[in-house]
Amino acid sequence: MTESELQLGRMAALPADPTSAVLDKVPNPHPDTDYVARFTCPEFTSLCPVTGQPDFAHLVIDYVPDQFLVESKSLKLYLAAFRNHGAFHEDCTVAIGKRLAGLLAPRYLRIGGYWYPRGGIPIDVFWQTGAPPAGIWLPDPGVAPYRGRG
């Protein structure tokens, strides 16, 4: 993909749904080095597929790139496309992880979806591609487990 084909640096409409969203990848400037790139989306929103009510999550995506990086503006637009998309927490979290893994073919990728309670039950969903490469520093996601008011 050339720079002129990227969404970065030009107007881009919010995709109608996640399947129509375009995720851009760019060359990794350090393909010879194992390092972790983290994206945090503390205000992720989707819709309950049954009630249509909004669901909210804090997403943390960590990956060890190989040849490609995900371009952050396209990731932002992709994640925002879930705002009008009805899917269960598990589906949203795992689908995002699989889409990124399929696009990037990273050495490692993990996603944590920390969903806010609905009906009194918080649901946290975790997915990864396999074991992280030896010797990388993989920090704690930094999201505390849900504790209610206690």
Query: Where do the structural domains in the chain lie, given as residue ranges?
Result: 29-128
Identify the CATH number of the domain defined by range 29-128: 3.30.1130.10
Active-site residues: which are they? 48, 55
pLDDT band with cut points at 50, 70 and 90 for residue 110: very high
Distances (CA, A) of 144 to 25, 52, 87, 115: 31, 27, 24, 12
Three-state DSSP state, 22: coil
pTM above 0.75, yes or no: yes
Residue 150: the pLDDT is 57
Average pLDDT over residues 100-118: 96
Query: Do the bridges between strand 54-64 and strand 25-27 make them parallel or antiparallel, or are there none, so unpaired?
Result: unpaired
What is the total residue count of the chain? 150
Nearest to 62 by CA among 148, 143, 147: 143
Contact (Cβ atoms closer than 8 angstroms) between residue 91 and residue 82: no
Statement: residue 93 has pLDDT above 90: yes
Statement: residue 4 has pLDDT above 70: no
Residue 53: the pLDDT is 94
